[in-house]
Amino acid sequence: MIKTGKDSKMKKVLLTDIVEKTGCSPAQISRALNGKPNVAPEVRATVLRVARELNYRNRANRHKPHIALLKKGAMSYYTGNLIYSIENVLNELDWSCQVVDQLHIGSINEYFFDGVIAYPWGDYLAKQWPNLRNIPLVIVNDYGSVMDNICSIDPDFTDEANRVLSHLYELGHRKIARIRVIGEDEFTRRYRLRGENEYNTAARAWKGLTVECLHWDWKKAEHWPENLKELFRRGITAIIMVHPYYAAKITSDIQMAGYRIPEDVSLITEEVPCFSPYALPAQTTLQPDIEKTARTSIEYLRRLMHGEPVPTSVKVPNVFTIRDSTGPAPGSVAGQ
């Protein structure tokens, strides 16, 4: 906005004001503001500088917030349903949105977007964050980012651990393995410890309960049946598998090792809608509450957009669905 005339009232800044200040054409200015190619670097720098000086915002033909939904690469089941849920909530609010891949993060700027909801992988977004510094940002499932001016919507592992371990303890299980699938890249190293402290803390609430938190390399998956036999020799009677892509494999590997589910070992996996309810036996699962995550993300983005203080991390409980793959521990009172 710029001051005008005798009364110094504020006037809406238009694209024509940038044209007048820079001498660039409207098409050049539009391409520069949107991060489009075919703009000389010096022209882009001039346009962005003048736009900031004038506090320009693109409000043409709209009076409602415009939100960028930032994702990376092909959408998984979770990402696709999360974006679908966010879009539905934004439609309820009469807000508009646009899905943007992280490869095109440069097209997101404060002149055309009022806020960003991101589902990032690894540290890519952190490295690009200076380009988004002036836009309110909510990150989903990034496990407690501590970057300034970012609110992270994270899984509530304390709630998850208490619900899962309480269920297994009541069934007589006392030795439980929690297996996380990892790789060698920096992304998996960064996140491999998530949830472990919460499970270890929760285990102390029940007498005689122990939880082994293990990391299995997906590149050595052919060794998993032997790994499972070793766990069972040590008295493990329940397994929590922390990776949806391996729900089917861990089921097969347990059976290949000569054990029955749940008669010999109980199994909890992450929900795979086309597999978990139809497996034999149907699997007890954990699943992010996608609807609640979507609504929580938008609510805290709204607060950021209004300049309200928000916590660094907001916890959303998972959905815990009990089916047939968990049962009484062999030899326990619950199993008699």
pLDDT above 50: residue 59: yes
Q: How far is CA 135 from CA 68, 126, 193, in A?
A: 10, 14, 30
Top-tier CATH class for 157-287: alpha beta
C-alpha dihedral sign at 196, 201, 205, 206: positive
pLDDT score for 132: 58
**pTM attached to this predicted model:** 0.79
Domain boundaries in the chain?
A: 2-43, 157-287
pLDDT tens sequence across 178-235: 999 887 555 555 667 788 999 999 999 999 999 999 999 888 889 999 999 999 999 9
pLDDT above 50: residue 241: yes
pLDDT score for 302: 93
pLDDT score for 333: 63
pLDDT above 90: residue 128: no
pLDDT greater at residue 251 or residue 183: 251
pLDDT greater at residue 146 or residue 74: 74
pLDDT score for 232: 95
pLDDT above 50: residue 146: no
Rounded to an integer, what distance in angstroms lies between the CA atom of residue 117 and that of residue 153? 10
pLDDT score for 131: 57
- Residue 241, amino acid: M
C-alpha dihedral sign at 4, 5, 8, 11: negative
DSSP 149-200: TEEEEEE-HHHHHHHHHHHHHHTT--EEEEEEEE-SSHHHHHHTTTTHHHHH
pLDDT greater at residue 101 or residue 248: 248
Neighbouring residues of 330: CB distance < 8 A, sequence distance ≥ 6 = 237, 263, 264
